[in-house]
Each structure stands twice: as C-alpha cells, then as structure tokens.
Structure 1
Amino acid sequence: MRRGHNLGAVGEFNQAVILDLIRRAPDGLSRVEVAQASGLSAQTASNITRRLIDGGLVREGERLITGPGKPRTLLRLNASSRYTVGVHLDPTVITYALLDLAGSVVADHRARTPTAPDPAGVIADMAHEISAILERQSIPREQVLGVGIAAPGPLDASRGNVLDPPMLDGWDVVPLRDALSQATGFPVVLEKDVTAAAIAELWVDSGPRRDNFAFFYYGTGIGIGLVINHEVLRGASDNAGDMGHIMVQADGPVCSCGRRGCVGDLVVPHRIVQRALAAGLIAADSPVDRADFDDVDRLFTEFTVLAMRHDAVSREIVMGVATQISRAIVSIVNLLDVDTIVFGGPFWRRIEPALLGAIRHLVNTDPALIPKHPIHIENSGIGEDVAAIGAGCLVLDQSLAPHTSALLISR
C-alpha cells in the first residue's frame, strides 16, 4: 500500500496517494480511514480531500454511523468527472477505448488498420474517431485528461516516435505522439503495446499477484509486459518486452534474425495456421503468410475450434506451441523472479482453452525452473482490448497515481 509523506514538498504525491486510496475503495472511505491508510496527519488528509472534492474528482456520499460520536461521511471517486481515450495501433486493427476516472470502459470502437503505407492518413483517421467517440457519448472536451496510444515497438518514447515496427509498412520514424496531439488538441502519451497491457492489469487489479508479474501478449505477434515491485519495467529506451528471439527449439526453423528456434517465429497465429494447413486440418485456396491478416484470423479461428476436439494431429500442434511458450516463460521467470504470468491479447481468448492448462503444467514442472515458489498462470480479465485500455489507463496513471519518482530531487 502506498503511504504519503508529511513534507511540504510532496503535496502532489500525497494527493495522488489519497485519490488512489479512494479509487480502490468501492464502498468509500471516511476521512479518518484516509488518514490512517495514507499515514498522513488528519489535518493534511482533510485538506487534500477538500481539494479533491472542490476539483470534482471525489464526492461525499452517505454518512456512516460506527458508534458513539459524530457520523463519518464516506468519500467516493467521482468516476464521471474525467475521462481518457486509449488507442491501440496494431497491424490488423485500431482499437479505441473511452475510460472514465475509475478506468472503466464507457465505450469502445474498432477499425481495420489500412494496409497502405500512409501514417499521416491513419493519424487523421485516429483524430476523427476520437472526436466521434466523444461526441457519441456527449463528453465535453474539457473533461478529457488526454489520449494514450499503445503501439508496437521499437519506439523512441522520449521523442514520441514509432521506429519501423514489424508489419506496419511506412511507419519508419513517425512522430505519432506529437502528430496525434496536434490533430486532436489533447495531450498524448505514447507507450509500447505490451507495456500498456501490463499497466491495464496494474490499474484494474492492485492485489499481491500484481506486485511481480509478466503479461504475455498474444496478438499478431507476441511480447511481454513486465512489472517488478509493482512498477512497470520499461528499460533504458522504453522498449523492454521484446521476447520474440528467445531460443526455445535448438533444431527449429531459421528465424528472420538468422538464428534457429526463436519463440516469436514459432508460436504466433500465422505459424499455427501454416502448421494446421500442412497437416490437412484446415484448407485455404492459396498459401497464407503473416501479411494475409484476414485469412490468418479466419483460419486461426477454424483451428482453435478443431483443437478443442483433442484429436491427435491438433493436439500435437497445441502441445508444441505450449512447450515453446513454456520454455520462454521459464527463462523470464528465472531471470526476473516473477511469480505470476498473465495471458491476454486479441488472439489469446480463442486458443486459451487448449493452451492454458498445458502451459501451467509445463512451466511448474520444468526442471530448468529455478524459483521454488509456485508460478501462477492465469488469464487477463480485461479482454481483447487490453492494450487500448492500458493506453487510457496510462493517462490516468501519469495524471493521478502516486509514483515514488515524484519524490526525487531534480538536478
């Protein structure tokens, strides 16, 4: 639990601590409980809660009688006082999520990602869709804290640039953050998609299993979002999480990087589709590669339906994928000592019934696993829009959540 500090120089941090406490208490907190939970003096806590009420972020609810003395007034988050918009740029689809102050999804929308290499046109479409979703929900612009955008890496986060991500032709050094801000008039923050997914999990679930965990993102490609000691791990250039070149099969096929058996080349949907086609489980009129997004999506769904029948051929494919993913996870667990792996992403829900149990068993029985604590393998409860929701939560997190970095003295 975050606790405040009774120092005059950290007022914004203390305000974020108290707002976070109230946000995470759906039944409300009294001022006395706020002071006790935050570690702040009663006067400091009272002054801050008054500012939050005056700013419309917190509202006073019913009075609670707990015994002799004055009834306590419960404080609750005013979720409809502020909003954010999260956008996820994926090679196949652009997802939009409008979130309220609690991080709940108010509205969402999906649009096919144009295949033409035209970043300027895509950014203009994004701005139009953001305006449209606000108009449909009758949200005044002044109530919008900002826009978060999740994009595949690599990124230059300091400059807000997208740096030639795979399967997005023409997106080489595109100033996505500033261009979208100029087009919308809102402040924009840019984050790597797998990191945004981990942020969504942190914002929605603050329990102990979210102190040290990894988010395995399963979409058109794969990646890993990392959280250590309840803080997102971004790395020196904000590009942490590219796990695709972890070697999991020594005699595997040659990857585009020149090495053999890279997990990102073995377990992604288009590779599963190709194996299923070669085995005769499904059929296509012509060969399918990773750029055939619609065909991959359709055929992948066909395979996942067949995989639930547990015939010998589909089971062999499923167990191969489970083994390869599990080996990569064990490497990550050994390196970082996380105790929970959360799976999610736009392709995960379809194949999860066939994969999750096998991965859970393989990880926890792998002789290469070093930590002696159980490794919890679970599904994200957020759904396919997790990266877009995480992008919106990123704005909430940067605007409202307490961060110990706020206490560092600037040089």
Structure 2
Amino acid sequence: MNIFRSLKYRNFKLFFYGQSISLIGTWMQKTAVSWLVYRLTGSAMLLGLVAFASLIPSLILSPYAGSLIDRHNRYKILMITQVISMLQAGALAAIIFFKFYNIPCIIFLSLIQGIINAFDVTCRQSLMVEMVDHKEDLPNAIALNSTMANMARIVGPAFAGVILSTFGEDFCFIGNFLSYIPVLACLFLMKLNLTVLEKPQKSIWLELEEGFKYVSRDRELSSMILMIGISSLFVIPFNTLMPIFAKDLFHGNAGTFSWFESAAGLGSVISAMYLANLRSAKPLLRIMIIASTIFGLSLIFLAYSGILSLALVFMTFSGLGMMAQTSAINTYIQTHTIPAMRARAISYYIMAYQGMIPIGSLIIGWTAQAFGPRLAVCLAGIIGLCATAAFVAYKTKSPRGHLSMLKLLHLR
C-alpha cells in the first residue's frame, strides 16, 4: 500500500519495528510514573515537577546536541543513547520493584532520562533521512514514524492500565527495561552508508551560533518553531492534568487514566496515517493551521465535559490536533532545511517542542492547583486558538504573504 511505502527500505523497516516495541514500553512507564506520583502525593504541582524534570534538559541541551550530532557519527550516538536509556530504565525498575517509593529519586531519574532524550531524539530525527534512499519518501517515513509512536501511545497506556490494576507498578517498569532489547538488536542489524564526515574546522560554539542565525533568518522556519514553542509552553502540557481528570473529576482508577492516554493516542494515529498518505510537503502549512484550531477547540470542550465518554471523544480530537500540528511542523523543517544544517534546525525544533513542555507543565500544575483543573485546560485551549490566529495574521501581513495564504486556504 502507498501509505507503507517507506517500509521497503531495510534500514527504516528495522528501525520502525524496533522502536515500535521500545515505545510501547516507554508509554507503559510514563503512564505508571504519572499514576504512581499522583497516587502517593495527590499533588498537581508534583505531577508538573516530574514532567518538568524529564523534559527541561531538551530546552538547555538540544541546540548543543544538534551541533554535536552534525560533527559525529549519528548511528554510533544513537546506539550509545539507547544503551544508556536501557540502564536508566533498569535503575527505575529496580527502585520500584523493591518498593523504594522516593519521589526525589524518581524525579532525579526522570531528569537523567531527559538529558539522554535531548541527544537521542535529535539524533533519531536527523538520522531518518539516512534510512530512506529517496527524499520524496521522507515525509512518508516521518509520518509513519509518528504513526508508530502514537500507536504505542494507545497500546502502552492500555497495557499499563491492565498491568497496574492486576500486577502493580513494578511490572510496567520492568516491561520498559526489557523493551530496549529488540530496539538494540534491530540497530545492530542496520547497515547505513553514512556520509564520511570531514574533520570540523570550527568550534562547536561557533556552529551553534551559525545554526541559530540560519533558523532565525529564515522567516518560514522561525515562525514554525515559534508556533510549536507557544503550543508546547501553554497548550500541550494539558496532558499533565489527566490523572486528576481520571481520579478526581470522573472518580476512576488507573484503568480510567489509561483510557485518556489511549484516546489521545487514537486521535494521533488517525492524523499520522493521514499525513503518511500525503504525496508532497506542499499542504503542510494548511494542515498545521487546521490542526491547531482543532486542538484548541477540543481542549475547551474537554475541560467542561461532564460525561466520561464525551470527555474521551474530545480527548481523541485533542490527540488528533496535537499530533497533526507537531508532525506537520517537524516534516516541514526536515524538508525545507539544507543538509548541513538539518540536525541543528531539528535541535531548535526539539528545544521549542520538548524544551517548553516542562515549563508549561509547572505553569499548568500551578494553575490547576490555584483555579482548578477544568479552568486550566480551558485556558490552554483558548491560548492555542489565539496563537493560531496570530500565526495566520503574521503570514498575511505582507502582500506576498496575503496572496500565499489565500492560495493556501483555497479562497482564490
């Protein structure tokens, strides 16, 4: 089928299958951590703090990671980050297995994982182009990768809900540790013909500066990165509050929480499969605008849903909008950046995306603590809609931009 055309490339197929298993384990652990922390503390602020610790390194280290990856063998860096991630997962599994419920220790290990991810995510994204022989199939590969990640977002929390209710938290953490075995095996089987890297003549700090200048001078790239930064700071962190929705607002258990995560994952898969079927990158800007609008509206409706089934429907739409927004921006950057700057451009995307979420998690945690979780999620949706309107206004400010937007929205 056309939608799976990137799987004809052996290296991408191995990467796809290995990551599929590993990401299920990652989502099992993520669901278990959120549930465990809220079960032990009942604190929205601590939920935000755990999310902050796991993602704040991306804000600080992503630009450095992009420059470092551009100078070294990306495949070897990916192998190293996966091995260290497995060790971190093993350490977290051990402390939970022996019932050492120490919140500062969990936060510290979340911070370690965040540091690893700052390099790992940038490396995986920039290596994607090396796994696909023909550039025209790159958008399909990126979308399939997103589909795989969001299928894991459905399956992982669903498994976690069953395991948490039946066996306990420790089995979720052990499952994540074991899930790294297939991804490492698949990486060992890959055969990549990477471009031979010349010995760098410039310092890494100078390359950091060049990367920043390249992104900031390109109005299209900078506006996309600014859009994802605003969304990650004020809108995407709404997900931090879902344990509160599940446990307190809908009087559920760990299984109820897993339904919220899986509902968002279902919406994400739908949008990812649509993006995977695109034949070109031309409609990405329009898709991003529509997706951002859906995302904002769904959060407003989710915030004041009084029925669980209705809340899960709006949660599905939120996942659809969020996935389409982030994936469209990611694909746009990868397909509109020169090869020499790709990892650095992606690193700024990662910084704006994952780096802003931890700060946003603290903000929405404080807002929920002060004004209630429903108002906090509603405000996130309103800000998302305002950011989308501002982006459209920015793109139509110049006569040239106005003409392109008319064509984009099919209003001619």
Q: TM-score, normalised by structure 2?
A: 0.22
Q: Which has the higher contact order (CA 8 A, sep 6+)?
A: 2
Query: Which structure dedicates a bigger proportion of its chain to helix?
Result: 2
Q: TM-score, normalised by structure 1?
A: 0.22
Query: Which structure dedicates a bigger proportion of its chain to strand?
Result: 1
